[in-house]
Amino acid sequence: MYLLNDAGTVWSSATLGAAVTLSNSSCSINAAATVTASGTNLTVNLPVTFTAAYAGAKGVYMYAAGSLANSGWREMGSWTVIATPEPASVTPSSGSGAQQIFTLQYIDPYGAIDLASTWVWFTSNFNTGSSANSCLVYYARAVNQLFLLNDAGTVWSPATPGAAVTLSNSSCSINAASASVAALGANLTVNLPVTFTTAYAGAKGIYMYAAGSIANSGWQTMGSWIVP
């Protein structure tokens, strides 16, 4: 099996079934691919992973060459490569304290404008089925507002970054006046001032999530924090 490089000048090769991955800036091919022949038919099962840089609508073209003739290129289908937004980092990613401004960075291959919402969750009991009695915050880009979930896990309180408002529950409070959001290219940065309550003392994980217009990152562990 062969994959062409970015310049269109060199082919990389791998034997089918080998523990090898062929790759360029657009895609990678797992050589665990299989081929079966039956009568006049040849079937190739090709495991392909597309890169975020190759996002968008693609045509699927195929070609067959025999000993005496070839098919020419034919358009046989279409495929849309979906690039996934991701949480990039949290600074600081570890430490301790009752108060801290966390710098949360997210990236979307389609640009920061594609991000619908970005989330951060400080919790010692990560359970997406129950977010009550924790510190769960999200930023909605379209309306430029921060939201904090109440203790019961049923109501979101909103505030605009920069407004003289403090969002709070029994676990934490968010000072919206000192919060800020900046978008640059594919990156969105949220500076989030958090004050944890003494009732929320203990070791917490920092989980982040990014939702774009057509895909999301899923929750990812990005750091840890100890509330004294």
Query: Could you report the per-residue pLDDT of 29-40, keeping only the tens digit for each?
Result: 999 999 999 999
The verdict on 95 and 189 lying in the same domain is yes
User: Minimum mean pLDDT among 106-115, 144-153, 191-200: which range?
Assistant: 106-115
- Coil, helix or strand at residue 69: coil
What CATH number is given to the structural domain containing 105?
2.60.40.10
pLDDT at position 48, please?
94
pLDDT digits (tens, 9 = 90+) for 135-191: 999 999 999 999 999 999 999 999 999 999 999 999 999 999 999 999 999 999 999
Q: What is the pTM of this model?
A: 0.73
Which of 81, 115, 145 is the C-terminal boundary of a domain? 81
User: For residues 98-109, b (16+ Cβ closer than 10 Å) or e, as one string?
Assistant: eebebebbbbbb
- Structural contact between residues 20 and 12, judged by C-beta atoms closer than 8 angstroms: no
Mean pLDDT for 41-60 is 91
How sure is the predictor about 49, in pLDDT bands with cuts at 50, 70 and 90? confident
Beta bridge partners of 188: 106, 183
Rounded distance between C-alpha atoms, residue 119 and residue 125, angstroms? 16
Domain count, the chain: 2
Rounded distance between C-alpha atoms, residue 105 and residue 10, angstroms? 37
pLDDT digits (tens, 9 = 90+) for 67-102: 999 999 999 999 988 788 999 999 999 999 999 999
Which of 39, 59, 81 is the C-terminal boundary of a domain? 81
> Among all chains, which residue has been given the structure tokens 């880009």?
141
DSSP strand pairing (135-140 vs 145-149): antiparallel
Is 64's pLDDT higher than 90?
yes
- Structural contact between residues 167 and 173, judged by C-beta atoms closer than 8 angstroms: yes
pLDDT at position 53, please?
81
The verdict on 65 and 152 lying in the same domain is no
pLDDT at position 171, please?
98
Which of 35, 51, 81 is the C-terminal boundary of a domain? 81
pLDDT at position 127, please?
79
Is 52's pLDDT higher than 80?
no
Percent of the chain residues topping a pLDDT of 70: 100
pLDDT at position 51, please?
84
The verdict on 70 and 95 lying in the same domain is no
Structural domain harbouring 135: 86-227
> What residues contact 121, with CB distance under 8 A and at least 6 apart?
131, 134, 135, 136, 137, 206, 207, 208, 209, 219
Is 222's pLDDT higher than 80?
yes
Q: What are phi and psi of 52, to 5 degrees?
A: -60, -35
Is 55's pLDDT higher than 90?
no
pLDDT at position 147, please?
98
The verdict on 12 and 46 lying in the same domain is yes
pLDDT at position 164, please?
98
The verdict on 99 and 70 lying in the same domain is no
The verdict on 55 and 98 lying in the same domain is no
Is 50's pLDDT higher than 90?
no
